[in-house]
């Protein structure tokens, strides 16, 4: 059972996305931020546990970044729905992730490569997008965070394109 705790925390993060979206749609931004923060804490705990006690698993390697993408993407879409997030930024963020998934599928098909670890820029991008959600929920200079996120999305997207090109060579 102990061995599965990081995976259980990852699944709980996925489930935790539902109340965050509901709270945003209900315009309860501070409560949504608090729940998001608790979810982020579980992300840190499961990663630390997996590394500290060597509890890494294939499930965790796939689901951990997916849980982050689901939380951020759902937050972006919910904030777009309530008029607090610009559509162009939501399209950029989700479009980047869809292009990365498509590229990974093509790489798998062409080369059989199954392992696509996140890059440092990709991790930084996810963190910045989470900060953007927090900035919007707090009404803390969201326009500045929109610009920073756009640059991060483009930069990390270019990096992934380069890594994909290198993998094909």
What is the tally of structural domains in the chain?
A: 1
Q: Which residues contact 18 (CB under 8 A, 6 or more apart)?
A: none
Q: What would the pLDDT profile of 61-117 be if each residue is shown by its tens digit?
A: 889 999 999 999 999 999 999 999 999 999 999 999 999 999 989 988 988 887 778
- Report d(CA 7, CA 14) in Å as an integer: 11
Contact call for residues 14 and 70 (beta carbons, < 8 A) = yes
Closest Cα to residue 97, out of 64, 132, 59, 126?
Answer: 126
The residue segments making up the domain with residue 121 are 2-168
Closest among 29, 162, 143 to 86, alpha carbons compared: 143
Q: Is the pLDDT of residue 169 over 80?
A: no
Question: Would you state the pLDDT for residue 113?
Answer: 80
Token pair belonging to 28: 């309860």
Average pLDDT of the residues in 157-168: 90
pLDDT digit string, tens, across residues 5-59: 999 999 999 999 999 999 999 999 999 999 999 999 998 899 899 889 998 998 9
CATH number of the CATH domain containing 92: 1.20.120.1760
For 28, phi then psi, to 5°, come to -100, 70
């Amino acid at each position: 059972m102990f061995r599965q705790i990081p995976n259980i925390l990852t699944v709980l993060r996925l489930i935790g996305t539902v109340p965050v979206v509901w709270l945003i749609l209900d315009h309860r931004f501070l409560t949504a931020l608090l729940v998001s923060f608790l979810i982020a804490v579980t992300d840190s705990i499961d990663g630390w546990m997996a590394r500290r006690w060597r509890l890494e698993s294939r499930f965790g390697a796939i689901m951990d970044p997916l849980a982050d993408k689901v939380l951020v993407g759902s937050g972006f879409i919910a904030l777009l729905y309530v008029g607090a997030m610009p559509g162009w930024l939501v399209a950029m963020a989700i479009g980047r992730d869809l292009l990365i998934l498509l590229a990974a599928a093509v790489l798998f098909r062409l080369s059989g490569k199954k392992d696509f670890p996140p890059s440092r820029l990709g991790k930084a991008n996810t963190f910045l997008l989470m900060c953007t959600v927090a900035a919007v929920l707090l009404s803390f200079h969201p326009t500045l965070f929109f610009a920073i996120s756009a640059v991060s999305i483009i930069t990390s997207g270019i990096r992934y394109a380069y890594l994909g090109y290198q993998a094909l060579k």
